[in-house]
Structure 1
Amino acid sequence: MPSPAGTSEDSLSRAVQTALTSLEDSKAENIVSIDIQGKSPLADYMIVASGRSHRHVSAVADHLIRAFKETGLGSARVEGLSGADWVLIDAGDIVVHVFRPEVREFYNIEKMWQAPDLEDETVH
């Protein structure tokens, strides 16, 4: 699947901003954006956020998926939407994780990216 964010820095920036705006509009909590360009072949950005409940996690993910489509960034691959404990949205250059708080705390995926050379982390 081609990357919806494309290869240009402008497209990537637009995709990241679309994701952050959608998450903020959906009242996602503890939003963390991590620039992993050149540090992982998985994506250029990883965004982690929390929802307050299963229903909120599902709504946040649905809103984000629609935002990607509506802004012309393509269809993202989605996993975990049916259970809504942890929803992974893979938009190519951006991977977004939306967790219920206790699931996020258990997996603590941000910790694996908190290396000394990953000081570009931004909390929203």
Structure 2
Amino acid sequence: MILASLDADQAEETVSIPLAGKSSIADFMVIASGRSTRQVASMAQKLAEKIKAEFGYRARVEGLATADWVLIDAGDVIVHLFRPEVRSFYNLERMWAFGDAPPLPTSDQAA
């Protein structure tokens, strides 16, 4: 549902990183970019609403005020939404790869 929501909102460079065996904070981490703070904020708000509607769970959202980097705690999935410059600076994909296989591409990357 998370990947479908981000795809519908035209998120860019979406990746899903399995965290099993790497961390107990979640099962997956999803990282995506928006072209602007406005798009990042919109994607985050819509995703939080969909999580509540579908699962009855109020996801915790941090960073919405500035929307350079928004973190959504959806329980078993942690979602990071960035503006491209901020994403490049923090490079979470590299930090969480731990030398393993690269993050799993999503549908917009496979082709």
| Same fold by TM-score greater than 0.5 | yes
- Of residues 27, 31, 38, the one that matches 2:14 is 31
Distance 1:80 1:39, change over 3 A: same
2:104 and 2:95 map into 1 onto residues whose CA distance is 15
Root mean square deviation of aligned Cα: 1.2
**Where in structure 2 are the equivalents of 1:72-111 lying within 5 Å?**
72-111=55-94
1:49 and 1:77 map into 2 onto residues whose CA distance is 17
What does residue 56 of structure 1 align with? 39
2:12 and 2:51 map into 1 onto residues whose CA distance is 19
Cα deviations by residue, 1:32-56 (Å, 9 ceiling, x for unpaired): 0001012101111000000000100
2:92 and 2:17 map into 1 onto residues whose CA distance is 11
Displacement of 1:121:
2.2
Equivalent residues, number: 106
Amino acid at match of 2:78: V
2:99 and 2:90 map into 1 onto residues whose CA distance is 20
Structure 1 runs (4+) greater than 4 angstroms displaced: none
Q: Is the 8 A contact 2:61 2:70 kept in 1?
A: yes
Q: Is the 8 A contact 1:35 1:46 kept in 2?
A: yes
Does residue 22 (structure 1) correspond to residue 23 (structure 2)? The answer is no
2:92 and 2:102 map into 1 onto residues whose CA distance is 16
What does residue 122 of structure 1 align with? 104
Q: Is the 8 A contact 1:35 1:120 kept in 2?
A: no
Amino acid at match of 1:83: T
Does residue 69 (structure 1) correspond to residue 78 (structure 2)? The answer is no
- When the two structures are superposed, what TM-score results if normalisation uses the length of structure 2? 0.90
Q: Which consecutive unaligned segments of at least 5 residues does structure 2 have?
A: 107-111
